[in-house]
Amino acid sequence: MHSMPRLSALLALSTALAGAPAVAEMNRSLNLNGATGLIDMPSGDAQDDARFTFSTALVGSITRTTLSFQITERLSGSFRFQTWRDWNTLFPTDSDKFEDRSFDLRYQILKEGAYVPALTIGLQDFTGNGTFASEYVAATKTFGDRLKVTAGLGWGRMGSFGGIGEPFGDRPEVSDPGTPNSDQWFRGEAAPFAGVEYKITDQWTFKAEYSSDDYVQEQERGLIERDNPFNFGFEYQRGPNMRYGLYSLYGTEAAFVFHLILDPKTRAAGGVMGAAPVAVKARPARAADPDAYDGGWVTQADAGPLLRKNLAKRLAVDGIVIENLAYTATTAQIRIRSNRIDAGPQAIGRTARALSHVMPASVETFEIVPVVNGMGASKVTIRRSDLEQLEYAADNATLLRQRVLITDAGPVPANAVGDDGLYPKFRWGLRPAVKMSEPLKGDIGLRLSASYDFRPGLVLSGAIYKSVFSNVDRSGEYSDSTLPHVRTDNSRYSKFADPGLEQLTLAWYARPAEDFYSRVTFGYLERMHAGISGEVLWKPVDSRLALGVEVNYTKQRDTDGGLGFDEYDYDVTTGHVSAYYDFGNGFLGQLDVGKYLAGDVGATLSVDRVFANGWRVGAFATVTDATSAEFGKGAFDKGIRFSIPLTWAMGTETRQSFGATLRPYTGDGGARVDVNGRLYESIREYHTQSLDPDWGRVWR
C-alpha cells in the first residue's frame, strides 16, 4: 500500500500553500455527508452555534440528503437519508434501490487556538446495522485566512482503506441493528485521512483530500470504481445561505452538492414587516390637570362598551382581538388573543400602548392577560407611569422588565365587558400543505379546514386533505408487523384516504384551578384514530417545571378516510404521565411514561431547542417493552423534528410555521395518538421563561 507517501505529499502541498496572503475569514464548510468537513471526509471544525443545514449530494449512483444542527457550540447531530440506485446490478435477487437512514453525532473536544488545532470526535451512522458506520477523530488548523489543513483517523467505513492496524481490537458484528452499535465504536482497522481547503476568493474555495473510505460495498456491486484515494473540487458560496460544490472523486467519479445554511438566531428576511408601533401617550401632570385624574368616569353606563370599542379599533391593526375588558378607576385588565404577531412581548407592548391612548388618566395599572384556546395563560402587570418614563430611555426593555410582574392569569373579573359579536365565531380556509416524512420525501396537497368557536375554550374543528403530489409509499399493502398496525399501514391511508377526513373534533379547554389547565378532545382525533383524549397540566407561570397527565381511549379508523371503524376493529386505552423542564438557553426536556397505541408500555425522552423567534429543533427516542423484532427496522422509535416560523423566512407577521418529524423507520411500537392543542406548548409561550428571551420586542 502507498497510502503513507500519498498522505505525506498532500500535507507537503498544504505547507507550501500556508504562506499565501490573507483574505476574508474562511467559512466552516460542509462535506458530501452534510457534516462539517472536507469533501468525503470530516474535519475538526464545528459550525456556529445553532446553525441548521440542509444538504443534498449526488455521488455517482448515490444520493445523500442530510439535515444537520449545531446543538451547542461543541455538539452537533445529523440525520441522513441515502439511496443507492441500481443496487442489484450484480446481484439480481436484491431490490433495484437500496435505502439507508442514519444518525450522526460529533463533539468538538478542543476549539482552535493560536497553536492548538480544532479537535473533533465523531460517530457516523451509530444506530445502523454497522455496514456504513464510522468513527473518527479529526484535527483542523487554520493558517492565515486562506488555508485550512485537516488530518484524522477513521474506523469502520472510514478505516477501510490504508489501514495502519487495530489499536483497540477487532470490530465485532452488530448484534442488535437499530440500537447504538457501541460494541463497534473505534474498533477494527484504523486508517488516516487528510485534506486541505484553500480560499481563492470570498466566494470560491478549492478542496483536496486523501480519503480512507474504500467504498467496499459499492465497488463489490459495480456502482463505483475507485482508482485512487484522492478527491478534488471547487465550492462556490452564494451569500450566507447557499453553497455549491463540484468534485472529482477517486479518479473515476464526479459529485455535486448543494447546502442550504440557515441561522435560527437571525431572520432570513431581516426585520418583521408590519404596522409601526404608536408612541405611548403621556398623561398631563396631575398638578396641571387634576380633573383628568378624577375617577368618576367609572359610573358612566356607556364607559365600558365605548372604551372596548376604541381599544378594539386600535388593536385590530396588529391582529389582536379583545376577549374582554374589566376596569376600576385605577386598574384596567384586558384579555387579548394575538392572531398575527408571533412574539408575546410584542403583542403585550402593542396592547399597553393602545391602553395609554384610550384609558382615562386615573388608570395607573395595566393588567394584560394573553388568552390561548380560551384560557388565560398569564397576567402581565405594567405600571402606566413606567411606560411613560422609560419609552425613550437607554436599554428601555431591560428597565421595563425589571418593573413588570408576570403572574397567574386568575379568573375573569366579574365586571368584565365582552363583545356579543365575538362568539360564536366561524372560520375556514383552503391552503396548500406539505407533509414531510423524510428528507426529499413527502406529500404536497390542499387542506380545507374550518372551526366554530361556541364560546371561549369550546371549539369544533375539522380538516379534509387532498394530495396533489406525493413520492411516499402508496402501495396500499398491509404491513407484516406483529404488533397492532397502529402506524405501519400508513401506505394504505395514503392511497385510499385521498381525499380523506384528517380530523373532526370538539375540544374543551379550561382553568380548573390556579396553575392548572385542562383539555378534553372528542371525535376523529387524527387520520388513523378516533376517540376521546383528556389532559391536565400543572404549570406555574414562573416555574421551569411542569407536570401533566393524559388519558386517551381510541378506536382505529378505516383507511378510506371516512367515518368507519370496521376494517381494524381495534381499540385501546392509553395514557402518560409527563414531566417538562426548561433548562434555560432555549433547551426544553420532556419525559413521558405510560402506555402506547400498540399496547406496549415504556417511556419517551425528548430534548428540543427553542429560539426566541419561534424556531424549534429537537430529537426524541422511545423505548418500550416491545422487542426489537416486534418493532421491526430501527429497533425502537426515534427521530428528529423541526419547526420553522414563516415570519422568520418571509418577514411578514404570521403565526403559521412549517415543520416535520423525521424518523429513520416507522414502527408500531412507541406510537402515540396525534392530538391537536396539547397544553404545554400552547401555555408556555406566555410564561416567564418564554417571554424573557424575546422581551426586547416589547417596544416594537
pLDDT (tens digit per residue) in 514-554: 999 999 999 999 999 999 999 999 999 999 999 999 999 99
Other CB atoms within a 10 A radius of the CB of residue 334 amount to 26
Residue 429 domain-assigned (yes or no):
no
Which of 283, 333, 281, 329 minimizes the C-alpha distance to 308? 333
The Cα–Cα gap between 108 and 25 comes to: 20
Residue 285 domain-assigned (yes or no):
no
With bands split at pLDDT 50, 70 and 90, how would you rate the model's confidence at 19?
A: very low
Beta strands in 1-146 (DSSP E): 52-59, 62-70, 75-85, 97-110, 118-124, 134-143
Residue 91's pLDDT is what?
62
With bands split at pLDDT 50, 70 and 90, how would you rate the model's confidence at 124?
A: very high
With bands split at pLDDT 50, 70 and 90, how would you rate the model's confidence at 9?
A: very low
Do residues 318 and 350 touch, judged by C-beta distance below 8 A? yes
Pairing of strands 331-338, 365-372: parallel
With bands split at pLDDT 50, 70 and 90, how would you rate the model's confidence at 268?
A: low
Q: What is the DSSP string of 508-549?
A: EEE--STTEEEEEEEEE-SSSEEEEEEEEEE--TT-SEEEEE
The Cα–Cα gap between 9 and 71 comes to: 36
Q: Which three cell numbers stand for residue 670?
A: 412507541
Residue 25's pLDDT is what?
57
Q: Give percent of the chain with pLDDT exceeding 70.
A: 93
3-state secondary structure of 442: strand
Q: Which three cell numbers stand for residue 426?
A: 366561524
Q: How many helices (H) and strands (E) does the chain have?
A: 11, 31
Residue 208 CA, chain-centre distance (Å), reads 34
Residue 14's pLDDT is what?
43
- Taking residues 303-317, report their average pLDDT: 93
Residue at a domain's end among 346, 381, 410: 410
- CA distances, 605 to each of 70, 367, 574, 659 (Å): 20, 37, 17, 20
With bands split at pLDDT 50, 70 and 90, how would you rate the model's confidence at 274?
A: low
Q: Does one domain contain both 94 and 35? A: yes
Q: Does one domain contain both 8 and 137? A: yes
At 623-640, the pLDDT tens digits run 999 998 889 887 889 999
Q: Which residues does 497 contact at the CB level (< 8 Å), separation at least 6?
A: 527, 559, 560, 561
Q: Does one domain contain both 228 and 335? A: no
Q: Does one domain contain both 210 and 351? A: no
Torsion of CA 217, 223, 227, 231, to 10 degrees: -90
Which of 693, 692, 673, 689 minimizes the C-alpha distance to 681? 689
With bands split at pLDDT 50, 70 and 90, how would you rate the model's confidence at 482?
A: very high
Q: Does one domain contain both 249 and 331? A: no
Residue 273 domain-assigned (yes or no):
no
Residue 339 domain-assigned (yes or no):
yes
Which of 96, 95, 98 minimizes the C-alpha distance to 82? 98
- Average per-residue pLDDT in the chain? 90
Residue 33 sits in a domain whose CATH number is: 2.40.160.40
Q: What is the DSSP string of 77-112?
A: EEEEEEEEETTTSS-TTS-SEEEEEEEEEEEEEE--
Residue at a domain's end among 380, 410, 440: 410
Residue 370 sits in a domain whose CATH number is: 3.30.300
3-state secondary structure of 344: helix
Do residues 373 and 459 touch, judged by C-beta distance below 8 A? yes
Residue 10's pLDDT is what?
44
Residue 1's pLDDT is what?
41
Residue 83's pLDDT is what?
87
Q: Give percent of the chain with pLDDT exceeding 90.
A: 75
- CA distances, 352 to each of 295, 333, 364, 603 (Å): 20, 11, 11, 44
Residue 85's pLDDT is what?
84
Residue 5's pLDDT is what?
43
Q: Does one domain contain both 326 and 253? A: no
The parent domain of residue 239 ranges over 3-262
The Cα–Cα gap between 189 and 159 comes to: 6
DSSP 42: B
Q: Report the alpha-carbon angle 685-689-695, nearest 5.
A: 80
Residue 176 domain-assigned (yes or no):
yes
* 60 pLDDT more than 80: yes
DSSP 417: B
- Of the listed ranges 21-35, 179-193, 253-267, 566-580, the one predicted with least confidence: 21-35
The Cα–Cα gap between 347 and 120 comes to: 43
With bands split at pLDDT 50, 70 and 90, how would you rate the model's confidence at 22?
A: very low
At 555-571, the pLDDT tens digits run 999 999 999 999 999 99
- Taking residues 292-303, report their average pLDDT: 91
Residue 82 CA, chain-centre distance (Å), reads 22
Q: Which residues does 693 contact at the CB level (< 8 Å), separation at least 6?
A: 586, 612
Q: Does one domain contain both 237 and 342? A: no
- Of the listed ranges 55-59, 100-104, 427-431, the one predicted with least confidence: 100-104
Residue 313 domain-assigned (yes or no):
yes
Residue 211's pLDDT is what?
97
Question: Which among 29-43, 72-86, 262-276 has the top mean pLDDT?
Answer: 29-43
Q: Does one domain contain both 249 and 298? A: no
The Cα–Cα gap between 134 and 155 comes to: 5
Do residues 452 and 426 touch, judged by C-beta distance below 8 A? yes
* 16 pLDDT more than 60: no
The Cα–Cα gap between 30 and 53 comes to: 9
The Cα–Cα gap between 552 and 622 comes to: 18
At 353-401, the pLDDT tens digits run 999 999 999 999 999 999 999 999 999 999 999 999 999 999 999 999 9
DSSP 295: G
How many CA atoms, within 13 angstroms, populate the side-chain half-sphere of residue 540?
A: 4
Q: Does one domain contain both 46 and 154? A: yes
Residue 697 domain-assigned (yes or no):
no
- Taking residues 175-187, report their average pLDDT: 87
Q: Does one domain contain both 247 and 355? A: no
With bands split at pLDDT 50, 70 and 90, how would you rate the model's confidence at 50?
A: very high
With bands split at pLDDT 50, 70 and 90, how would you rate the model's confidence at 200?
A: very high
Q: How many domains does the chain have?
A: 3
Do residues 21 and 146 touch, judged by C-beta distance below 8 A? yes
Q: Does one domain contain both 251 and 299? A: no
With bands split at pLDDT 50, 70 and 90, how would you rate the model's confidence at 90?
A: low
* 277 pLDDT more than 90: no
Residue 13's pLDDT is what?
40
Q: Which residues does 377 contact at the CB level (< 8 Å), separation at least 6?
A: 369, 370, 371, 409, 682, 683, 685, 686, 687
The Cα–Cα gap between 438 and 83 comes to: 12
Q: Does one domain contain both 109 and 155? A: yes
Residue 312 domain-assigned (yes or no):
yes
The Cα–Cα gap between 671 and 597 comes to: 6
- Taking residues 79-106, report their average pLDDT: 79
Place of cell 455549491: 244
